[in-house]
Structure 1
Amino acid sequence: MHDNADQRSAVVAAALELFQEQDFDQTSVEQIAKAAGVSRSTFFRQFGGKEDVVFADHEALLDDVRGFLRERHENPWLAVCEASELVFAHFARDPEMARRRYQIVRGVPVLREREIITVFRYERLFDEYLREALPGVDPLDAVGFAALVTAVHNHVLRQLLRSTKGVPIAVLQKALADVRRRYGVQTDADAAASAPDDVVVAVFPRSMPVAEISRRLTAELD
């Protein structure tokens, strides 16, 4: 099992290097297999095609996230955030490889389209989990929270991918804590970290969107 994982990693690394050197469209499966030291049949047994090599990490991560969310969690909102952190931590462990993949994807339209679909798969996974874990949850809250967590994650990840410096996971954790605050699903730790000595009382129309309430409170407190 370990050897197979190492072999897959070698194929991915060889493919990304070739894509960067001579362009995605100009690189053949045969060239990738030769550079990685595997047969053409082995390549197709491990990957469906060149696109799948680029997104191999995401396929494994989606499985990891599904497994993580199947575990028992006291706070489903927090579990979604922790799943996002799991994905970020994977790419942060090897930022150079992640940056190489990012540059390749940016330059190939078909890969950019595949990336959009992949991002949506995470969002849908989070949404479906929240609906199942929280019976009776407003579907708009579930889909909205899932979308915002995914968007915040991608924003912080792009900071990592576009920079030559590391971005600590604490940056993402702080941003996700703010997401929970905006949705009113703070954990005890979140509440303890946010001005425990201050008490604010405010009244808003029931119909006012949460985002507008947050905006007004932020404007008043800043």
Structure 2
Amino acid sequence: MSVESRQSPRPRAGRTTAGRRRLRHALTVAAIDLFLAQGYDATTVDEIAAAAGVGRRTFFRYFRSKEDAIFPDHEDVLGDIERSLATAAPAQDPVAVACTAVRLVLDYYLADPDVSVKRFALTRTVPSLRDREVATVDRYQRVFARYLRERFEAADDPAADLRASVAAAAVAAAHNHVLRRWLRSGGEEDVHANAEEAFQLVVDAFSGPVEPGGEGRTVVAVMEASASMSEVMRQISAALRTN
């Protein structure tokens, strides 16, 4: 028996963690390319599987539907965010921690610019995919709100619930603004510089001690619909600190 015949057979794609990741990515790329070429509704699961070089049953081992193939890793990213928040040092500013954690979502999109830009084009034209994206963003935001609420309550902040909800919304809004700006540029803009500026605005607006006696307050900030993000953050911060 030759040396070659005594060696263990090489694992096929999908049999190892790296292989599963590559196959999952191949199915996502195939789905996005087909959706763009012939339309979302006109594309079948069989066509996606064939384009990726696998069968229908293999597709359903990775995704429950063709819609799921567009957002393949959000559950993993959400888990990474929850672990990042759970392991943050208590001495760290909670808003800064949330801004650092949301960068994991940004990194996910930056890891594959071509797919991210194409996915953006799809979500702008296919309502069901856009709704799915909105629902995903809402899940991230709720995770941040829960973390911030716990931290603010631990610091005896009388407005913990309100402050956590508004700060979490601001974290998500800053991330979405930076990400969509980058996507609209075709992945050409300096996303890191934009992220630094956006997240610093959020930290400046919501970090630091809150004056006692704010329980039961209603905070209102009035601004023009065309106001820039920096102006929105400035006015919200002023309202929270002075009312």
Same fold flag (TM > 0.5): yes
CA deviation map 1:84-111 (0-9, x unaligned): 1121122123222111001111111111
Q: Does 1:163 align with 2:181?
A: no
User: In structure 2, what is the Cα distance between the partners aligned to 1:216 and 1:101?
Assistant: 32
User: In structure 2, what is the Cα distance between the partners aligned to 1:35 and 1:101?
Assistant: 17
**Corresponding residue number in structure 2 for 1:62:** 78
Amino acid at match of 2:208: V
CA drift of 1:145 comes to 0.4
Bigger relative contact order, structure 1 or 2 (CA pairs below 8 A, ≥6 apart): 1
Look up the SS of the partner of 1:38 in the other structure: coil
**Corresponding residue number in structure 1 for 2:112:** 94
Q: Are 1:95 and 1:160, in contact at CA under 8 Å, matched by a contact in 2? A: no
**Corresponding residue number in structure 2 for 1:184:** 207
Identify the match of residue 53 of structure 2 among 8, 33, 37.
Answer: 37
TM-score by length of 2: 0.74
**Corresponding residue number in structure 1 for 2:226:** none
Percent same amino acid among aligned pairs? Answer: 39
User: In structure 2, what is the Cα distance between the partners aligned to 1:77 and 1:184?
Assistant: 6
Out of 72-81 and 108-117, give the one that drifted further. 72-81
**Corresponding residue number in structure 2 for 1:140:** 162
User: In structure 2, what is the Cα distance between the partners aligned to 1:53 and 1:208?
Assistant: 43
Q: Does 1:103 align with 2:93?
A: no
Out of 56-65 and 150-159, give the one that drifted further. 56-65
CA deviation map 1:27-59 (0-9, x unaligned): 100001111112211111111101111111323
TM-score by length of 1: 0.81
Identify the match of residue 173 of structure 1 among 196, 204, 207.
Answer: 196
Q: Are 2:27 and 2:49, in contact at CA under 8 Å, matched by a contact in 1? A: yes
**Corresponding residue number in structure 1 for 2:42:** 26
Q: Are 2:205 and 2:234, in contact at CA under 8 Å, matched by a contact in 1? A: yes
CA drift of 1:67 comes to 2.1
**Corresponding residue number in structure 1 for 2:146:** 128
> Relative to 1, partners in 2 of residues 1:184 and 1:102: Cα closer, same or farther, differing over 3 Å?
same
Larger radius of gyration: 2
User: In structure 2, what is the Cα distance between the partners aligned to 1:129 and 1:53?
Assistant: 29
CA drift of 1:210 comes to 8.6
Identify the match of residue 173 of structure 2 among 140, 147, 151.
Answer: 151
Amino acid at match of 2:141: E
Superposition RMSD in Å: 2.4
Alignment gaps of 5+ in structure 1: 187-205
> Relative to 1, partners in 2 of residues 1:185 and 1:88: Cα closer, same or farther, differing over 3 Å?
farther
> Relative to 1, partners in 2 of residues 1:21 and 1:131: Cα closer, same or farther, differing over 3 Å?
same
Query: Larger % of helix: which?
Result: 1
CA drift of 1:167 comes to 2.7
May I ask how many residue pairs the two structures share in their alignment? Answer: 199
Look up the SS of the partner of 1:50 in the other structure: coil
Q: Are 2:99 and 2:171, in contact at CA under 8 Å, matched by a contact in 1? A: yes
**Corresponding residue number in structure 2 for 1:83:** 101
CA deviation map 1:164-186 (0-9, x unaligned): 31333121122111111112339
